[in-house]
Copies of this chain bind each other. A is one copy, B any other.
Amino acid sequence: MTSPVYLQIFENIKNQINNSELKPGERILPETALCKLYETSRATVRKGLALLSNEGYIYSIPGKGCFVQTPQQNRYLVYYDEMNNLINTVDQTRLLEVNVIVPDDHLANSLQISRSKNVIVIRRLFFTDGEPIAYDLKYLPYVKGMPIVEKEIETATFPEMIPKNIPLLALKKNIVIYAQIPSGEVKEHLRIRDNRALLVVEQKLFDSDNRPVGFGITSFKSDYIKLEGVSQ
């Protein structure tokens, strides 16, 4: 059971970094030296180094060498789907409103459009087992000829609402996560009588030219959502 040479190189150097035999900022052996050390070709050495670089252990500077990266310890990969999370799944949605509005300053700024442009607003409720568990607001810049079919919107997730001429997969998305006490209207819609916290997730969608194409605010009843992340 012998692993490929490039993997051995990868594992060896990775372990040296994890054991602090190689410290952040330190230079590692040049490729030619690793070729001699492992008695292999440069392509094989480079494949091992590419792995280390991909996983954030090292970086290279042309003409100078390869150096140990200072570790990124605070980055987590988080899964977020407004319809599904660690402890709950939305099984029903209700459309409260579809409208065309003129944006206020904050919204115009978020969508990077002028205040004279029209914006489509979509308000929905998400349900699980007949209970309202989230209040959802979406804003889309109004594009001429954009089809607004209420039935479609009712169950669509955010990226599906974006006009079809923007390639779906090219979308960049940002999220912002925070906690909040529900305001009057939201409290009523979510049938909250006692004190209850909300987990709010704001979502901003960008096209491939980094222009905002959607802004959403989804407010979850706190006992129906947990987000999970794993370190990178």
Which positions in A face B, CB cutoff 8 Å? 17-20, 43, 50, 54, 71, 73-81, 86, 159, 167-181, 195-199, 208, 220, 222, 225-232
- Knowing A174-B229, A226-B176, A231-B173, the reply to whether A79 touches B75 (Cβ < 8 A) is yes
Which of B74, B174, B198, B208 meets A80, CB within 8 Å?
Answer: B74
**In the assembly, how many copies of this chain are there?**
2
A19 to B81, CA, bound (A): 23
Report chain B residues within 8 Å CB of A178: 199, 222, 225-227
Tell me the complex Cα distance, A208–B17, Å: 13
**What are 22 inter-chain pairs, A to B, with CB distance below 8 A?**
A19-B167, A73-B173, A74-B80, A75-B78, A76-B80, A76-B175, A77-B232, A78-B229, A174-B231, A175-B230, A176-B226, A176-B228, A176-B229, A177-B177, A177-B226, A178-B227, A179-B179, A179-B197, A179-B199, A179-B225, A181-B196, A181-B222
CB-defined contacts of A172 to chain B, threshold 8 Å: 230-231
- A230: chain B residues at CB < 8 Å are 172-175
Q: A178-B226, A179-B180, A179-B220 are in contact. List 9 more A-B contacts (CB 8 A).
A: A20-B167, A50-B50, A73-B159, A73-B173, A75-B79, A76-B175, A86-B176, A171-B231, A179-B179
Q: Which residues of B contact A177 (CB under 8 A)?
A: 78, 177, 199, 226-229
Measured between beta carbons, the chain B residues less than 8 angstroms from A76 are 77-80, 173, 175
A17-B169, A181-B195, A197-B181 known; A176-B80 Cβ under 8 A: no
Which chain B positions have C-beta within 8 A of A79?
74-76
CA separation between A168 and B208, bound complex, in Å? 38
Contact A198 B179 (CB under 8 A): yes
B231 touching A169 by the CB < 8 A rule? no
Chain B nearest Cβ from A183, distance in angstroms: 11
Give the Cβ gap from A111 to chain B, nearest Cβ, in Å.
Answer: 18
Distance in angstroms from A219 CB to nearest chain B CB is 10
Within the complex, which residue of B175, B195, B198 is in contact with A228, where a contact is CB–CB below 8 Å? B175
Q: How far is the CA of A198 from the CA of B198 in the complex (A)?
A: 9
Complex contacts, A225 vs chain B, CB 8 Å: 178-179
Q: Which residues of B contact A77 (CB under 8 A)?
A: 75-78, 232
